[in-house]
Amino acid sequence: MIKQGNLFPDLPSTDKPLRFRSPDRPIWTENKAKLIERYLYYFVMITKHGAYIDGFAGPQYPDKQDAWAAKLVIESKPPFLRKFWLCETSEEKLPALYSLASASFQKGRSIKVLPGDFNKNLESILASGAITEKMATFCLLDQHTFECEWKSLQALAVHKKDNKIELFYFLATGWLDRAIAATTRSQHIVKAWWGGDDWKKLLGMRSFDRAQLFASRFRLELGYKHAHAWPIYDRESGARRVMYHMIHASDHDEAPKLMSRAYRKANEPKEELADVQRELFGSESFHKR
Ligand SMILES: C[S@@+](CC[C@H](N)C(=O)[O-])C[C@H]1O[C@@H](n2cnc3c(N)ncnc32)[C@H](O)[C@@H]1O
């Protein structure tokens, strides 16, 4: 058991919306990969193992290797995560994924690159038998806007009964109205992304409210115990603006606390493993784990 205490005194004890009106340490879009990596760094200290699915894995900024989530997660030490699936449609981006997979190969690890649509490839990942009930599994869904279909989230959510596959889902709250307006002739895409005909309710909503609506759908429709929306910022004409919300959904009671810590610390140098172990778990209990 993780030691309870007031390690996270600033955190709510329930899943009420977490508000970040003026966070003093914002996560910028180019740092979102660091947030995911730092969270997993903490989490695998609990699980000591795990699997990672990256649905939209190609590098967003090919010239910024330290902003590429798949690379940061695969190269993170200690290398507790053992199974990886990296999905990507763009032929231009696939070579970078193949290079990453071969450079990171080590005994006991499996890194599979799956070219093509994540929504189609997910079925074979889940049917492979590799993600068992006991396998801690994390899935990054860093879509641009409407690429991740709701049915994929449903498939991920029902695959494991207890401690469901944990989700990091990027929601483009910053330009959703513009993006929906641009799809007048292809509204079936918005429908598949939203998972129904009632997507028009999103139009004109405030960014924060949209994010809360999604977080509540992750709890009520997908059945996650915890789901929170974390803002990801960009600088526009010198001003700070929320571009995305990252919806983090997990059944694990420690997960929101670990994400809160990752959000605060992602831009700082990584803490020494021993320090984090002591602070999060207490040194003795950790070693007995
Ligand atoms: C926002 S980027 C991902 C950024 C990446 N996570 C990073 O850390 O740099 C989205 C990626 O998804 C890819 N993509 C778009 N539609 C896809 C689909 N249906 N299935 C898989 N990949 C897709 C794009 O080519 C692009 O490389």
Residue 163 beta carbon below 6 angstroms from any ligand 1 atom: no
One pLDDT digit (tens) per residue for the chain, 289 residues: 333 333 333 443 446 655 544 456 788 888 999 999 999 999 998 889 999 999 999 999 999 999 999 999 999 999 999 999 999 999 999 999 999 999 998 899 999 999 999 999 999 999 999 999 999 999 999 999 999 999 999 999 999 998 999 999 999 999 999 999 898 778 999 999 999 999 999 999 999 999 999 999 999 999 999 999 999 999 877 788 899 999 999 999 989 989 999 999 999 998 887 887 777 777 544 443 3
| CA 133–ligand 1 middle distance (angstroms) | 27
Distance (Å, rounded) from C-alpha 250 to C-alpha 166?
Answer: 5
Q: What is the pTM of this model?
A: 0.91
| CA 37–ligand 1 middle distance (angstroms) | 17
Domains along the chain with CATH numbers: 29-288 (3.40.50.150)
Torsions phi, psi for 242 (to 5 deg): -75, 120
Which of 31, 89, 150, 169 best tests ligand 1's pocket when mutated (most atoms within 8 Å of CB)? 89
Residue 117 beta carbon below 6 angstroms from any ligand 1 atom: yes
Which residue in this structure is represented by tokens 């915890």? 226
Reading the block at residue 171, the tokens are 């929601």
Distance (Å, rounded) from C-alpha 136 to C-alpha 12?
Answer: 25
Ligand 1 atom having least distance to the Cα of 60: 9
Asked whether the CA dihedral 13, 19, 25, 26 is positive or negative, the reply is positive
The helices-and-strands tally (H runs, E runs) of the chain is 11, 7
Which of 72, 73, 88 best tests ligand 1's pocket when mutated (most atoms within 8 Å of CB)? 88
Residue 118 beta carbon below 6 angstroms from any ligand 1 atom: yes
Distance (Å, rounded) from C-alpha 223 to C-alpha 226?
Answer: 9
| CA-wise closest residue to 143 among 153, 130, 133, 134 | 153
Q: Which residues of 60-92 are buried (b: 16+ CB within 10 A; e: fewer)?
A: beeeeeebbbbbbbbebeeebbbbbbbbbbeee
